[in-house]
Structure 1
Amino acid sequence: MNALTRSAAAYWQSSIGKKLIVAVTGLIMVLFLAGHLTGNLLIYVGRGAFNEYAEFLHDAGHGALIWVARIGLLVAIVLHVWATILLVRENKAARKYKYECQSTIQASKSSRIMIWSGSTILAFVIFHLLHFTVRVTYNDAELVDPLDPERFDAYGMVIRGFEAGFLNFFVVLFYIIAMTLLCSHLSHGVGSIFQTLGLRSKKSRELIHKISVGFAIVIWAGFISIPLAIFFGIVK
C-alpha cells in the first residue's frame, strides 16, 4: 500500500473525511435534483418540448454522458448513505451512557430518520431507473413519438407510467412517499452541507435554514405534481 492509498484510507476512516464525503455527495444530489426537476417540468409544456429534452439528454456525448451521470449519481447516493451510517455508528459508540430521553435538543426529526430515509431514497432511485431507464415494463416499439416517428416517445412513457390504474396507484404512492422522505432529508441536509463546508455562521444560520426548507418544499411540490397530474388526467 503506497503513501497515497494509506492517506486516503486514513482520511476515510476519520469522522472529518466521512462528513466531507456526505457533504460533497449531498451537494451533487442537490444540484442533480434542481436540474432534473427543471427538465421534468417540461411535461407541462407538451409532448414536443419534453421529447426534445429527452432526446438531447440521450444524445449528449453520443449517448455516453447520460450513463456517466446515472452511474455517478448512483455511486454518490451509495457513498452518501454508507458514510452516514458509519457516522451514526461512530456517534453511538462514542457515547458512554445512554441519554435518559432519546430525543435530542438540536437534532430535528428529519436528521434522526436520515438513515431510513436515505435507504428508501436509494431503493427509489433503483426503482426509478428500472421504471424509466431500463424500462422493464415497456415495449419500445410502442413508444414512438406521433409528432416525429423517428423519435422515442419519452412523454408517452411517462404518461403510461403514471396514468390511472390499479398498479400505477401504488407506483404513484411510492413516488410520493419517496419524495416526502427525500425532502425531509433535504430540509436538514442542505444546511448540513453549508456547515460541513464551513459556509454557515451564526449570522447566516437562520437564512440557510430558510433556504433549506424552501428548496425542499419546491423540490417536493415539483416532483409529486407530475405523477399526480398524470394520474388524475390533468396531463394526458
Structure 2
Amino acid sequence: MLTGSRVAQPLRQRRIRPRFWLLDFYGSAIGKKAVMAVTGLLLLGFVLTHMLGNLHMYQDAEHMNHYGEYLRTIGEPILPHTGFLWIMRGGLILAFALHIHSAATLTLLNRESRAVGYKGGRTYVAANYAARTMRWSGIIVGAYLLFHLMDLTWGVGVATSSYTRGTPYENLVASFQREPVAAVYIVANLLLGIHIYHGAWSLFQSLGWANPRFNDWRRMFAIGFAALVVVGNVSFPIAVMTGIVE
C-alpha cells in the first residue's frame, strides 16, 4: 500500500456504452441484407420514375422542359424553389451510399465466415451471369451515373458544350447526337438491366419472401422490370441518332 502523497486508488472497470440498436442490427449480416433490399427498392423506384419522366421527350421540347421546371417547383410555397428536388437528391445519395456500403461489408463478412477457401476454383451452381457480374456492373453503372450528372445536370461540358440550364430537351438531344456518348449510354443501360434483374430477384429473398412457390413470379417480375427500364432508356439515344427526335 502506498503512503504519502500517493494514495491507493481502487481499480475502476471501464463502462461499455451499449450501441444504438440500429447500429447493432446493421452490423449483422441480416441487417445488411435488409438495408440492401430497402435501398435497392428505393433506387428501383427512382430509375423507373426517371425513365417515365424522360418519355416527355417524345412529345416535344415544350412538354419536356415544362416537366423539368415542374420538378423544381414541387412543394412551393412551403418549400423554397428546388427544395423538394434537393430533398429527393439527398435521400437518393444516402440510399446509394448505404447500398454500396452494405454490399461491400456484406461481401467482407462472407469472406471472413469461410474458414477454408474454395478448392479448384469457385463453381457457380445456383448463381447465374447476373449474380456473378453484380459487383462490376454496379461499379460501371455508378461511374456512368457520375458522368451523366456532370453532362446533363451540372452542365460541366463533359459531352456537349451547348448546355443550357432549364432546357433538358435541347441538352439531351445535343448530348445524344454525339455517337460515342450515345453508345456509352446504351452499354451502361444494358449493364444496368443486368444489375436490376439480379437486384429485383434477390430483394425478396433479402426481405424474407423467398417461398419457392413464388420463384416463377419473382423471375417474371425481375425480367419485366429490368426490360421496361432498359428498353425505355435505350430508346432515347436511338431516337435521337435516327432522327425520330430532333
Task: Check whether TM > 0.5.
Answer: yes
TM-score (normalizing by structure 2): 0.83
| Aligned with 2:83 (options 57, 64, 88) | 64
Question: Which residue pairs with 2:43 in the alignment?
Answer: 29
Residues 54-203 of structure 1: matches in 2 within 5 Å?
Answer: 54-61=68-75, 62-95=81-114, 96-137=116-157, 143=164, 152-163=166-177, 168-203=178-213
User: Are residues 1:16 and 2:30 paired?
Assistant: yes
RMSD over aligned Cα atoms: 2.0
From the superposition, tell whether residues 99 and 88 of structure 1 become closer, same or farther in structure 2 (CA, over 3 Å).
Answer: farther
TM-score (norm 1): 0.87
- Which structure has the larger Rg? 2
For residue 7 of structure 1, report the CA deviation from its aligned partner. Answer: 2.2
Q: In the alignment, is residue 225 of structure 1 matched against residue 229 of structure 2?
A: no
- Structure 1 consecutive aligned stretches of length 4 or more whose deviation exceeds 4 Å: none
Is 1:38 the equivalent of 2:74? Answer: no
- Contiguous gaps of at least 5 residues in structure 2: 1-15, 76-80
1:202 is aligned with what amino acid? P
Q: In the superposition, relative to structure 1, how do residues 139 and 97 fare at CA in structure 2: closer, same or farther (>3 Å)?
A: closer
Determine what percentage of the aligned residue pairs are the same residue.
31
Q: CA deviation at 1:29?
A: 0.7
Amino acid at match of 2:145: V
Name the one with the larger helix percent.
Answer: 1
Give the Cα separation in 1 of the matches to 2:154 and 2:130. 32
How many residue pairs align between the two structures? 223
Cα distance in 2 between the residues matched to 1:51 and 1:85: 38
Task: Give the aligned partner of residue 149 of structure 1.
Answer: none
- Note the C-alpha offset of 1:143: 3.7
Long gaps (5+) in structure 1: 145-151
Shift of residue 16, structure 1, vs aligned partner: 0.7
Task: State the SS of the aligned residue for 2:120.
Answer: coil
